[in-house]
Amino acid sequence: MTATAPKQPEAAVRIVALGGLGAIGRNMTTFEYQGRILIVDCGVLFPEEEQPGVDLILPDFAYLEDRWDDIDALVLTHGHEDHIGAVPYLLRSRKDIPIYGSRLTLALLEAKLREHRIKADLREVAAGDSATAGPFGVEFFAVTHSIPDALAVALRVGGQLLVHTGDFKLDQLPLDGRVTDLPGLARLGDEGIDLLLIDSTNAEVPGYLASERDIASVLDQVFANAKGRVIVASFASHIHRVQQVLDAAATHSRRAAFVGRSMVRNMNVARDLGYLEVPGGMLVKSDALPDLPDDQAVLVCTGSQGEPMAVLSRIANRDHAIEVGPGDTIVLASSLIPGNENSVNRVINGLIRQGAAVVHQGNANVHVSGHASAGELLTFYNILRPHNVMPVHGEWRHLWANAALAKQTGVAEDHIVMAENGTVIDLEAGRAAVVGQVPIGFIYVDGSSVGDITEAELKDRRILGDEGFISIFVVVDVFQKKVVAGPEILQRGFGRDDEIFREIRPQLVTALDEALSQGVEQQQQLQQIVRRTVGRWVSRSHRRRPMIVPVVVEV
């Protein structure tokens, strides 16, 4: 990959985001100093509808090609998939990269690495700890998020101080009592933060978020009103929310089962480490659910974002052993990730159609975001007083809203760095500036294939799904200069009777005969004539653009 950035000054710290800007997902940022590299986070982005067949989207590792040995460490801020999900794919290029993270973060990662049969160099740290990786001094600070053990990271390198918040909020009454370490971060502010990379997800949300504790009373009311089973869909890493569900289940004399591979895996890890407290006799296996009366059963599953293969989506599509009906109550205990609205609405409609009652953020306060709102961000800026700010983790509208907040608190406009993935920023002598751009692409995981799917192939898939497929088989005699067999036309997904092709067959024969009589004999050229002739006819007559695959055989 060719970089379009100048040579890095010896005294500068270079920052390049390989993901996480302009979208919520695949968070990964590189920090470089005098030829050495430290990485913060390495997550995945989940595909949208226009990426059919794609399982995951990875950061673009091409920027690190031929530099794997320059990496001193990978630092993980917390255990969500959009921050750790791509680590197994990164380690395919170098397995011994030292990985720093909190106890829970590394436990969740280790379970994931076992599935990939990878053993990594995992180094546990906690809030208040510090470490050294090459020229980088790293300090860790507690932050509150929607998963326990989240950390902000301070980097001291080249005489400059950088802070990466990771995902955070300022909940004053978190369920685990672990508040964001504002006193510790304020000390960094007193020292002088040269660059603050800060979570932007909720920058458009005014005021302050409610506390996680406020959800408990809402869940309690849902359980009290439920006549049949209660099915709660949540992120497989939202341990706090699952704890509240189990507490409500215990209050209302219900037993619970975890359903879905990632949910079972993560909750087992959380329970083993003491982050999830499960009352004795509470849990049952999912295959024991039919033996429980409906008013004593709780299911905790994945699928709160409408993911096609998640448990709740399959239930909504009647493609799962678990069926729902009147009396069942479904709780979607999460907020919508931008872009997932249509998928989630389809799931809700599918469940309601089967007779279930659905409780979601649109009709009840069943979720509190894990990301700081505008009021919390303003407080954070005023406490830390950074010299330069780089909004991260969000779509463009979130990044711009966050930049506006920074400006309101007194950060000079020319000290606010607006970057996209691949933007090259140099921090030198306390001033951050954009100096170039390197190309950053999307790396698609499709089954066992990593990086083999291109945008062109995705376009073909979208056409096949939206417009259908037409294949044309024809035999020509290049010596007699005429069509001798066919054309045979087959279609899939075009949604019309094959009889409609009666009109185009003679037009195809005429076009090919004329081309052959004019000396056109190359198979590729004849196929192009078939494609153009059929394409113009379909567009003119039916206003469709199906995929057209011509096959011309010469005799």
Residue 1 lies in a domain: no
- Is the confidence at residue 426, as pLDDT, over 70? yes
Reported in sequence order, the residue ranges of 333-383 that DSSP labels E, i.e. its strands, are 357-359
Q: Are residues 154 and 59 in the same domain?
A: yes
Report the share of the chain in percent with pLDDT over 90: 48
> Last residue of some domain: 308, 340, 359?
359
Residue 435 pLDDT: 95
Whole-number mean pLDDT of the chain? 86
Q: Are residues 396 and 475 in the same domain?
A: no
Residue 468 lies in a domain: yes
Cα–Cα distance between 84 and 443 in angstroms, integer?
16
- Once rounded to an integer, what is the mean pLDDT over residues 444-458? 57
Q: Are residues 222 and 341 in the same domain?
A: yes
Of 166, 410, 392, the closest CA to residue 401 belongs to: 392
Of 258, 231, 261, 249, the closest CA to residue 354 belongs to: 231
Q: Are residues 280 and 232 in the same domain?
A: yes
Of 408, 348, 350, 351, the closest CA to residue 377 belongs to: 408
Task: Report DSSP letters for 181-193, one per residue.
Answer: -HHHHHHHHHH--
Residue 6 lies in a domain: no
Cα–Cα distance between 433 and 14 in angstroms, integer?
10
Cα–Cα distance between 197 and 74 in angstroms, integer?
17
Q: Are residues 343 and 294 in the same domain?
A: yes
Dihedral sign of CA atoms 47, 51, 54, 56 in order: negative
Most confident of 70-74, 273-277, 448-452: 70-74
Half-sphere exposure of 542 (CA within 13 A, CB side): 18
- Is the confidence at residue 47, as pLDDT, over 50? yes
- Is the confidence at residue 521, as pLDDT, over 80? no
Of 444, 457, 539, 450, the closest CA to residue 494 belongs to: 539
Q: Are residues 187 and 61 in the same domain?
A: yes
pLDDT-derived band of residue 554, with 50, 70 and 90 as boundaries?
confident
Q: Which residues constitute the domain of residue 426? A: 13-207+369-445
Reported in sequence order, the residue ranges of 194-296 that DSSP labels E, i.e. its strands, are 195-199, 230-233, 255-259
Residue 48 pLDDT: 55
pTM of the model: 0.79
The one-character DSSP state at 63 is G
Of 14, 41, 18, the closest CA to residue 164 belongs to: 41
Q: Are residues 510 and 542 in the same domain?
A: yes
Whichever domain contains 504, its CATH number is 3.10.20.580
- Once rounded to an integer, what is the mean pLDDT over residues 41-68? 78
Cα–Cα distance between 413 and 407 in angstroms, integer?
6
For residue range 453-463, what is the model confidence (pLDDT) as tens digits? 555 555 554 55
For residue range 368-385, what is the model confidence (pLDDT) as tens digits? 888 999 999 999 999 999
Residue 29 lies in a domain: yes
Total tally of structural domains belonging to the chain? 3
Residue 488 lies in a domain: yes
Cα–Cα distance between 228 and 245 in angstroms, integer?
16
Whichever domain contains 222, its CATH number is 3.40.50.10710
Residue 8 lies in a domain: no
Spatial contact of 111 and 265, defined as CB atoms under 8 Å apart: yes
